[in-house]
Amino acid sequence: MPDALWVYLADQRVARLEHDAGHLTLRYQSGATTPLSVRLPVREEPYGDSECRPFFANLLPEGSWRDALARQLGVSPEDDFGLLSAIGSDCAGAVALRSESDWIAERARYVETSEVELAKWVKNPAARPQLKTTPGLRLSLAGAQDKLLIHIDQGRPFLCEAGAPSTVILKPDILDPFNQVELSALNELLSLRLAAKILHSVPRAFWFAAGFAIERFDRRRQNGNRFARLHQEDFAQVLGLPSRAKYSVTWRDCFEIATRHTSTPARARVELTDRLFFNLLIGNNDAHGKNFALLYAGPDQFLLAPAYDLVSTEIYPSLSRSLAMPIGRATSANELDSGTWKSFAGEIGVRPQFLRERGNELVEKVSVALEGLLEQLESAHPALRRDVYPARRRHELFARFRGVVEANCRLIAASFR
């Protein structure tokens, strides 16, 4: 394993991440102008372990997915630097970590595969080739769920080799029979399809290779089949927190980030409010600090990244009903009332009337958008009928999804009275 990695930002070498006896040090190169993070501005003095580790560690997978990946790579699950060395060439945002100091984007290439082959890997992770023997096989870094990183062009899938940026994240169903979690890929597709009808900014999501596919909003087509990496950092990175502390991020923190760091704070705060209500309405009780991010869309253009990781956790009875980010004193949607909303409005710096109006508007929009949702999905994605068989499973899942959303619409509307 190398004792240092070169840090590239949008394919330009900007820094060096050094590793010594378990400690990390970040040194910006002379001439670097763009910071990796709002907490890591460009400077001559190097950043020590406690300053730079949260940013880089938040690029890595979490939980059992991290453990499984580390076993496959022959790396300790606690070794952030070892994992970054093995899989850091295609991270969230514009960051890439490489051992080569002379890497250039022209070396990157896409190698065509097939949807049939990808579907085998999606349905059975054990059938996937080893990362060490398949250069183009990429696994998504951040998060607690198994994901594949690919590129799709006109319906044809490609593996990403030699640093080629992935453009699509492909998520299989979560395998968690203990908590009776099933059809999570369909659940997330339903949630994103509904969100696309309601929220301001939502990535395109679709069904592909027996899984949930979502276009990466941190990629932008340049010339022909060349793609630029757009930088982002999630709210845990912005706050300098390790990924294990993602549940300590609060809604107040989120609104302060939107106010301090976005180019259009008023608009970002409205978007954030709408996402708060949307998560409540679909029963996504696991909306935590790493599910929100800043997107650096250009010089001095800091936007709230599009909505992602939207899924109804509430349709699975074994999962927690507690909100990952409490709303005032309310730790679950059942505890919301007009007093809670009033105090919460003061906490995030908005008028109670604004929350009531946005909440009721979202309730109305979601109620209308539910109509025909599954039929629209099945019409747009005929493969759903083949991959989620029998139809009874699709319809039962949607019935649970719809029941949760309708109940939450009534609950949120009543909480303002």
The DSSP secondary structure of 289-341, one letter per residue, reads GGG-EEEEEETTEEEEPPP-----GGGSTTS--S-SS-BTTBSSGGG--HHHH
Predicted confidence at residue 139, as pLDDT, reads: 64
Predicted confidence at residue 74, as pLDDT, reads: 85
Q: Which residues pair with residue 17 across a beta bridge?
A: 5, 26
The listed range with the strongest mean pLDDT (79-93, 112-126, 214-228, 324-338) is 324-338
Taken in order of first residue, the domains within the chain and their CATH numbers are: 4-99+106-172 (no CATH), 239-415 (1.10.1070)
Side-chain half-sphere exposure of 55, counting CA atoms within 13 A: 26
> Does residue 9 have a pLDDT over 80?
yes
Predicted confidence at residue 286, as pLDDT, reads: 95
Cis previous bond, 390, omega within 30: yes
* Residues 288 and 301: beta-carbon distance below 8 Å: no
Cβ neighbours, 10 Å, residue 52: 24
Rounded to whole angstroms, the Cα distance separating 247 from 147 reads 22
Predicted confidence at residue 277, as pLDDT, reads: 98
Rounded to whole angstroms, the Cα distance separating 149 from 227 reads 14
Q: Which residues pair with residue 97 across a beta bridge?
A: 7
Paired tokens of 417: 């009275």
> Does residue 67 have a pLDDT over 90?
no
Active-site residue, from 286, 300, 337, 387: 286
> Does residue 71 have a pLDDT over 60?
yes
DSSP 111: E
Residue listed under structure tokens 């979560």: 174
Predicted confidence at residue 138, as pLDDT, reads: 66
Predicted confidence at residue 105, as pLDDT, reads: 76
Average pLDDT estimate for 129-149: 70
Average pLDDT estimate for 241-256: 94
**Taking the chain, what is the end-to-end CA distance rounded to the nearest angstrom?**
61
Predicted confidence at residue 63, as pLDDT, reads: 82
* Residues 144 and 65: beta-carbon distance below 8 Å: yes
Clarify whether 286 is annotated catalytic. Answer: yes
Rounded to whole angstroms, the Cα distance separating 236 from 64 reads 20
More confident residue, 123 or 250: 250
Predicted confidence at residue 364, as pLDDT, reads: 97
Predicted confidence at residue 136, as pLDDT, reads: 65
Predicted confidence at residue 162, as pLDDT, reads: 83
DSSP 178: G
> Does residue 199 have a pLDDT over 90?
yes
Predicted confidence at residue 257, as pLDDT, reads: 97
**Contacts of residue 276, Cβ cutoff 8 Å, sequence gap at least 6:** 251, 327
> Does residue 137 have a pLDDT over 80?
no
Of the candidates 174, 123, 120, the residue with the CA atom closest to the CA atom of residue 145: 174
> Does residue 1 have a pLDDT over 60?
no
Predicted confidence at residue 411, as pLDDT, reads: 97
Q: pLDDT confidence of 144, banded at 50, 70, 90?
A: low
Side-chain half-sphere exposure of 345, counting CA atoms within 13 A: 18
| 291-336 pLDDT tens trace | 999 999 777 789 999 999 999 999 999 999 999 999 999 999 999 9
Predicted confidence at residue 155, as pLDDT, reads: 93
State pTM to two decimals: 0.93
Predicted confidence at residue 338, as pLDDT, reads: 95
Q: pLDDT confidence of 72, banded at 50, 70, 90?
A: confident
Element (H, E) at 63: helix 63-73
* Amino acid, single-letter form, for residue 218: D
| 88-97 pLDDT tens trace | 888 889 999 9
Predicted confidence at residue 135, as pLDDT, reads: 64
| 391-405 pLDDT tens trace | 999 999 999 999 999
Average pLDDT estimate for 208-214: 96
Q: pLDDT confidence of 146, banded at 50, 70, 90?
A: confident
* Residues 169 and 189: beta-carbon distance below 8 Å: no
Predicted confidence at residue 101, as pLDDT, reads: 86
Rounded to whole angstroms, the Cα distance separating 242 from 53 reads 8
Rounded to whole angstroms, the Cα distance separating 74 from 184 reads 29
* Residues 131 and 139: beta-carbon distance below 8 Å: yes
Predicted confidence at residue 301, as pLDDT, reads: 83
Phi, psi of 37 (to 5 degrees): -155, 155
Q: Dihedral, CA atoms, 162, 164, 168, 169, nearest 10 degrees?
A: 40
Q: What percent of the chain has pLDDT over 70?
A: 95
Measured in whole angstroms, how far is the alpha carbon of residue 178 from the centre of its chain? Answer: 24
Q: pLDDT confidence of 133, banded at 50, 70, 90?
A: low
| 372-396 pLDDT tens trace | 999 999 999 999 999 987 899 999 9
Q: pLDDT confidence of 246, banded at 50, 70, 90?
A: very high
Q: pLDDT confidence of 64, banded at 50, 70, 90?
A: confident
Mean pLDDT of the chain: 91
> Does residue 130 have a pLDDT over 90?
no
Residues listed for the chain = 417
